[in-house]
Amino acid sequence: NAFIHPYELRSKFFKKKAAFVLYMLDKKLGSDTFRNMLSKLVTPPTQEGEALEMNISTKYFLRLLKKTTGKDDARAFDRKWV
């Protein structure tokens, strides 16, 4: 068995966790609201036709969640799941 660096394990964990958090938000908010929020994160392609790479912070994501839903329960969700 090859040695796996702890960073690799951490990275795999966070990738899976991110998918689970998005799944939970979809179920909690409803698909229409969830898609509306995600559509605000999608950037248009550049003139060359390639999409821009964009990383967002958790703080920005939660602020967008609050703005999209009009509810202030994003902080509780953040503490529990993010």
* Lookup result for tokens 């605000």: 40
Q: What is the pLDDT of residues 61-75, one digit of tens each?
A: 888 888 888 877 777
Nearest by Cα to 82 from 6, 25, 40, 31: 25
pLDDT band, very low/low/confident/very high, at 38 (cuts 50, 70, 90)? confident
- Phi first, then psi, for residue 47 (nearest 5°) are -65, -30
SS3 content of the chain, % helix, strand, coil (to 5): 65, 0, 35
pLDDT in tens, 3-27: 677 777 777 777 788 888 889 889 8
Q: Would the pTM of this model clear 0.85, i.e. be above it? A: no
